[in-house]
Amino acid sequence: MGYGSAQLSGSGDYSVALKVDYISSVGWANYSTFRWEVFLDKGASQVGSWIEDPQSWSANIGGVPRSGTFSIPYATRGQNSRSLGAGYVDIYHNPDGTRPEFDSSASVSTAHSAIGSGTVSGVKTGAPRIPKVPAATYWADPPIDTVTSDSFRVHFAFWPRDDGGTPIREYQVETTREGDLLVETFNFGAGSGGNELIPGREPARLYTVRTRARNDVGWGPWSSVQSVTTLSGIFTSDGANWVAQPVRVSNGSAWVNADPTISDGDSWEDPINA
């Protein structure tokens, strides 16, 4: 809640007060609703004044103007507080859902020597963030490593990017295979460290890769695209289909992936580029 008051210029103990309360937010429209009210307050030591002719008041609620008139009938001169005007305004948020504090003000102008005139300003009010989808994930350095004939590992990150105002629930990695444009997706939980193995790849194929994150609102935008070519391999028949197989050699203690090369007569080259 935002509240402020200021003494008026008259000889009596009168002040103008303004209250601005946050009510609710509309996520799809990206705005929040606030209730405002302008008061004329009489000090406890003031006997009470009256004025039958209309007097003016005005307010500016976060850039939204409001105004009106009021009078003080003789029979109600003893009221300690008088509401001059009230209503609701919609204040839009930033595209990311944040709404920094904003200033509001209110003024009273009268021809009454005891009441006088004056302005209360700098009444600050804010609103909670309206949750949005997360910002895009980004690539760590290096973005892709541990490349074999049938897998590779991706390194993506989210911190310190914007989670949209609600916790990240899930990550997704999408790969596209060159040639037939096969698209596959892999989902990882919120606890993912961003270092994920992507298995089931074919040897000597170019893949493009991108990632994104999801919070309670939905999926954020995709990251930029990275590409990687798996190591060379061979194809064997299962009787009906040719099945891609990685090439592995022994290093003396384990079988590891290898990338075969061929000779063009002068040098050894990767078969993909030969």
Q: For the segment 152-188, what is each residue's pLDDT rounded down to a tens digit?
A: 999 998 777 899 999 999 999 999 998 888 899 999 9
Residue 9 confidence (pLDDT) above 80: yes
pLDDT, averaged across the chain: 90
- Tell me if residue 76 falls in helix, strand or coil: helix
Q: How far apart, in Å, are the Cα atoms of 191 and each of 186, 194, 216?
A: 15, 9, 15
Joined together, the tokens standing for residue 115 give 């009441």
More confident residue, 107 or 268: 107
pLDDT of amino acid 193 = 84
Residue 104 confidence (pLDDT) above 80: yes
Confidence band of 260 (pLDDT split at 50, 70, 90):
low
Average of per-residue pLDDT across 239-264: 71
Nearest alpha-carbon partner for 125 in 106, 100, 88: 100
β-bridge mates for residue 37, sequence order = 19, 86
pTM strictly above 0.85: no
pLDDT of amino acid 166 = 93
Least confidently predicted of 8-12, 83-87, 129-133, 254-258:
254-258
Domains observed in the chain: 2-125 (2.60.40.10), 138-233 (2.60.40.10)
The fraction of the chain above a pLDDT of 90, given in percent, is 73
Joined together, the tokens standing for residue 249 give 């050699």
Confidence band of 264 (pLDDT split at 50, 70, 90):
low
pLDDT of amino acid 231 = 84
Confidence band of 268 (pLDDT split at 50, 70, 90):
low
Joined together, the tokens standing for residue 267 give 């040098």
Average of per-residue pLDDT across 190-202: 90
Q: What values do phi and psi take at 203, rounded to 5? A: -65, 150
